[in-house]
Structure 1
Amino acid sequence: MNNTVRTPALTASAFAELGVATTHEAQGRAGLLHPRLQPRQSGVAIAGTAVTCEVPPGDNWMIHVALEQAQPGDILVVTPTSPCDDGYFGDLLATSAMARGVRGLVIDAGVRDLAILRRMGFPVWSKSVSAQGCVKETLADVQVPIVCGGRMISPGDVIVADDDGVCVVRREDAPGVLAAAKRREAAEEEKRALYAQGNLSLDLLDGMRARLEAKGLQYLS
């Protein structure tokens, strides 16, 4: 049965507009998944709650089990128990995921049917793209803490994914990180307006010129 405690939907969804870079910075430059997990589309930003899934090498049976546990607003996070680049996920599983309200897939392995996934509008961040199919023979764990892209991810944590990659925010930390991310975004908007007017970051950022001078920077005429 699915008794996972999830980050509240409004909190999790709000991270999509803020994005991966701002979220990562707002929580002390933490939470980024390895950059080998690449977006397989462009211009898409999503955020939601993690539904986690382990898969044995070359076996995608547990993804089918994970989809049974998925709820609207979830993001499917999949990691193999041993490194594997096979195409675990394609258009049929995406169709099922979309019907259950899953917002996207993060997988430290391969996907296939990429052109169809793009046409469907189902976003994916994956380690590889491979047409190699999978069997359905071996059990593994679903909705348990996993390591994906080098980061520990627990069911119900917030996943933020866009063109810059993927970031995780622990469920317990999500409200505080969201508030910090909003403050950071507001500060960056102010700086952006000043930069657009021709002001230099060297003059706007506190102490930057003094620190450069202390490091020995010299302007030669």
Structure 2
Amino acid sequence: MSRFAPGLTALALALTAGNAAAAFQDPATAAWGGWTRGTPGTLYAGWNFFSDETPRGGVIVDSTPDVAANSLIGGVTTPGGPTFTQFGDSTFRVTETSGGSFVTGGGNIYSVVLANRFTLEFQNNGALPFQVALQTRTLGTELDPASILLNGVAPDHRQELSRLALSGFGGDQIDNLFVWRLAAGRDLTLAFAAPASHLSLDALTLDAAPVPVPAAVWLLGSALSAMTFAARRREI
């Protein structure tokens, strides 16, 4: 629930991006991960400064993840090349659809009057099953937990990573993690929304990767296949 004073004080908060220490997790070290960003077959996109490709009003569209990594959203370093914040065989598009939001001077997406509604669209590379992790940083009004869906499915795991009180304005800076494990899906849409106005979206990351078959299961399957093959040979 929003706890802002009305008017310009709420707007002043939206113009101030969060500066707390990084709390977003990297799949290389996170409990939900187990892969390195940039590994073939994985997806990664990060935004810490949003832009608007439709400046005439209405929806806000940003299909350009940040071009440079930073301490919050991380990045992918190519051998002998730059560090960047997009990887994988997919397009990535963030859209705000309430019609009442705007991009602040600090690169946040903020609404003074209406409750924000967001989507993040991307494509799976065909590997199944796969795991998806969304991390968000918001200021002020908190996300509505019931609104956070991937192709209509609620996350299997959610965790608050960090909470920092915003002095002088009320509300908090909050970092959240949401994780899904899906068995199907090519064209994917993440949806998330605020329950009221005065939410400022400061940053987000998306990570996705195929779910590996556990070694024990693979070894058991190989052993069963070998036993079946041997039995068939004896029958011949």
Whose strand proportion is higher, 1 or 2? 2
Scaled to the shorter chain, the TM-score interval is: under 0.3
Whose helix proportion is higher, 1 or 2? 1
TM-score of the superposed pair, with normalisation by structure 1: 0.25
TM-score of the superposed pair, with normalisation by structure 2: 0.24
Which of structures 1 and 2 has the larger relative contact order (alpha carbons within 8 angstroms, sep 6+)? 1
